Amino acid sequence: MTHDGEYRSKLIKLLNDQARAELEASTIYSRWVRKAPGPEERLHLAEIAHEETEHWYGTIKVLEGLKVTPQEAKDYAGRSWFYTVSHVLIPRYRWVDILMLTFLIDRGAFLLVEDFARSSYAPWARFAKRVLEEEVGHMDFGNDFVRAQVDKLGSKKVQPALNKWWRVALNMFGPPTTRHTEQYIRLGLKYRSNEERRQAFLLSCEKQIKEMALQVPELYRQTYPFI
Ligand SMILES: [Fe+2]
Ligand SMILES: [Fe+2]
């Protein structure tokens, strides 16, 4: 397959978005290593921070393989509404927010990287498969430590953070389909629509939420954007 024109531009756009998400994760988790409440938490969080940094680094290396210059990368940078919205909803992070980030947002990341692991661009598919293995560990950390937090503080104290992050998480997938969806699927750069990924997310975490003695949050608005 030739990597020019439409294919190249869509590929670069997705890689750029991914690099940005990994860098954001690397920054947030790194910042929290020294604030982790205990030795276990600190150790795991330092690992996660390191792995997110590797995910970012690996993604920019795939971009480099496409001979994308930093200037070209900038031109592809999309709107950053997701980061704006999440910063508005959660202006100041507490430890429980970091736990929700691993529990929900890393799960969303996993589902997106699942698509990239089947990418028609082989270098990315190879790298994404490695990323997937590590993202499982990030979700496991979320599962274990949210549960521990519920045991320690009670579900009433933990539920409000879940309510906030639930909205961030559902919106993370974007509108059900976009004008690019069909194109991405046709080019083999993704294999599911945003809505299919969101449904997979719901399937993957609703049961766990109930098992943790938390409740699946109720929404005020049932369609995208969820509030
Ligand atoms: Fe990652
Ligand atoms: Fe992660």
Q: Residue 24: give its domain's CATH number.
A: 1.20.1260.10
Q: Which token pair is 46?
A: 């330092």
Ligand 2 center from residue 195 Cα (angstroms)? 21
Handedness of CA 62, 198, 82, 176 (dihedral sign): positive
**Is 216 a domain residue?**
no
Query: In sequence order, which ranges of 34-121 are alpha helices (DSSP H)?
Result: 39-65, 70-76, 81-89, 95-100, 106-116
Q: How far apart are CA 155 and CA 162, in angstroms?
A: 10
Ligand 2 center from residue 3 Cα (angstroms)? 29
What is the span of the domain harbouring residue 162? 5-211
Ligand 1 center from residue 24 Cα (angstroms)? 9
Identify residues whose C-beta is under 5 A from ligand 1, the ion. Answer: 22, 52, 55
**Is 58 a domain residue?**
yes
Ligand 1 center from residue 223 Cα (angstroms)? 27
User: pLDDT (tens digit, 9 = 90+) per residue, 83-96?
Assistant: 777 777 777 899 99
Chain-centroid distance of CA 70 in Å reads 23
Q: Which residue has the tokens 């049961």?
A: 207
**Is 224 a domain residue?**
no
Closest ligand to C-alpha of residue 131 is 1
Ligand 1 center from residue 49 Cα (angstroms)? 9
**Is 112 a domain residue?**
yes
Quote the number of domains for the chain: 1
Identify residues whose C-beta is under 5 A from ligand 2, the ion. Answer: 106, 135, 138
Closest ligand to C-alpha of residue 48 is 2
Ligand 2 center from residue 106 Cα (angstroms)? 5
**Is 227 a domain residue?**
no
Half-sphere exposure of 202 (CA within 13 A, CB side): 12
CA nearest neighbour of 110 among 12, 223, 204? 204
Q: Which token pair is 146?
A: 């949210």
**Is 127 a domain residue?**
yes
Ligand 2 center from residue 65 Cα (angstroms)? 23
| pLDDT tens sequence for the chain (227 residues) | 556 699 999 999 999 999 999 999 999 999 999 999 999 999 999 999 999 999 999 999 999 999 987 777 777 776 666 777 777 777 789 999 999 999 999 999 999 999 999 999 999 999 999 999 999 999 999 999 999 999 999 999 999 999 999 999 999 999 998 999 999 999 999 999 999 999 999 999 999 999 999 999 999 999 999 99
Ligand 1 center from residue 220 Cα (angstroms)? 30
Ligand 1 center from residue 67 Cα (angstroms)? 23
**Is 218 a domain residue?**
no
- How far is residue 130 from each of residues 59, 63, 92, 188, 189, measured CA to CA in Å? 12, 17, 32, 19, 17
**Is 71 a domain residue?**
yes
